Structure 1
């Protein structure tokens, strides 16, 4: 899909990574309903284009960019292509991520951790990079990092994922301070459990499970409000705050023997 930068230039634009399924696709649909133009990034561009056509979104409303978020040059190029084709987004959502279990005793899982950080952390910063200067010059915009309640405490077997999501929270906090006074907001959204193809692989209970559509509605509201930090649903925010203050010995005992996240080869790794 292609269109000139002038096409529908007065209509707000959202740039979303990981838009081909799950939370990313639900967010794309929610922003489309709100009248936004869409700039959608996915590795599976054919699926993304088919989805856009099914939604009745033509080239003036939606463009798709193929990129691998774990490859810095690839995602930066996608952002630059968006700037050239559609202009400066009003909202950039770094949603793409992977979630894979790990065992530090296994050599291959150290590579899993490196890939997780490349996607969930370096990829997030690289997603924002092409837009920071342009948004700052304009004096408005929102950069949205999708974290997880898994950022709050490290869970056995979830070391790479929990560490990467904790880093998302800290990075976005740093970026928020850097952009203070510029008119550019930094929003950190921490989903609890959301029903997606990825979470259906989980082997443990998922309290307060939301549909992707309900999550997208609540995340949209948080982004529109320029909330600096939002846990969705709020009930999970209460739970994780309690876990944060739980003494280590009690926390360790509570999660001892809990089923762990699938390691590489045991389940679907992409979020």
Structure 2
């Protein structure tokens, strides 16, 4: 039987591109999102056989919702070989604004708790089987905080730290934890950004490089590699120089914008 990949946030952007690449790579698909009709239309447009894909409606902001979707996948299609916690949001915040504290809470609920809830239904079964890939989608925004990006940067730094912790917990079990940190990828999530996006990459190109990193069980990868170099330089830059470098940089749009 063909291997199975479970992907959240599969209705658009990176998630959809990953679904296409894994299907091309010979995987059956278990695709999850709130907007199931969009996934179904995408699969139909690609003439993907009904036996090759199943769609699960779930909201990663609700723990029980995504856990139920994972259990349904196991019941219907079996334990996945790869689970990709891709679903996430990116919204600017201003800590002076009381309403933006709610945006922060929502971002952490989706990008962090939702990621752990995505993995939860599969960890024990993968450990018992002795194989599997759990993939967390981080971001180069995890490396250093950017003005106006507090919620997103904090959540993606949390993704990196969480996946590193989980990797240690599963060491020796045969289950690999893969952390992928995209740079700027051309998706609906980034198209409204009001600042320069160096090394902007097509979602399809990201998905191809991600596919190979996941297949190899790579523990951590920044894609594209050029952003990995930039990220390392940013990390070692003294605070005073870094603060000066990002002063006046365009901020991410807040919800009401």
Q: Mark yes or no: TM-score above 0.5.
A: yes
- Show the 5 A alignment for 1:88-167: 88-167=79-158
Q: Secondary structure at the match of 1:230?
A: strand
Correspondent of 1:38 among 29, 54, 59: 29
Q: Does 1:217 align with 2:208?
A: yes
Two-structure CA RMSD over aligned residues (Å): 0.5
Shift of 1:255: 0.5
Q: Which residue, 249, 258, 261 being the options, matches 2:249?
A: 258
For residues 155-194 of structure 1, the C-alpha deviation after alignment (integer angstroms, 9 at most, x for no partner) is: 0000000000000000000000000000000000000000
What is the TM-score when the length of structure 2 is the normalising length? 0.99
Residue aligned with 1:174, SS: helix
Structure 2 residue matching 1:199: 3-state secondary structure: coil
TM-score normalised by L of structure 1: 0.94
Residue 59 of structure 1: CA displacement?
A: 2.2
Flag structure 1 segments of 5+ consecutive residues without an equivalent: 1-9, 267-271
Q: For residues 98 and 139 of structure 2, what CA distance do their matches in structure 1 show?
A: 26
- What's the secondary structure of 1:144's corresponding residue? strand
Give CA-to-partner distance per residue, 1:95-151, whole Å, 9 cap, x none: 000000000000000000000000000000000000000000000000000000000
2:8 to 11, 14, 17: 17
Match of residue 5 from structure 1:
none
Tell me how far 1:198 sits from its aligned partner.
1.4
Q: Aligned residue for 2:70?
A: 79
Q: How many residues align?
A: 257
Residue aligning to 1:196? 187
In the other structure, the counterpart of 1:233 is 224
Give the C-alpha shift of residue 58 in structure 1.
2.3
Aligned residue for 1:269?
none
Equivalent residue of 2:173, what SS? coil
Which residue in 1 is equivalent to 2:54?
A: 63
1:66-109 deviation line (CA, Å, top 9, x unaligned): 00001000000000000000000000000000000000000000
Runs of 4+ more than 3 Å apart: none
SS at match of 1:60: helix
Structure 1 residue 27 corresponds to structure 2 residue 18: yes
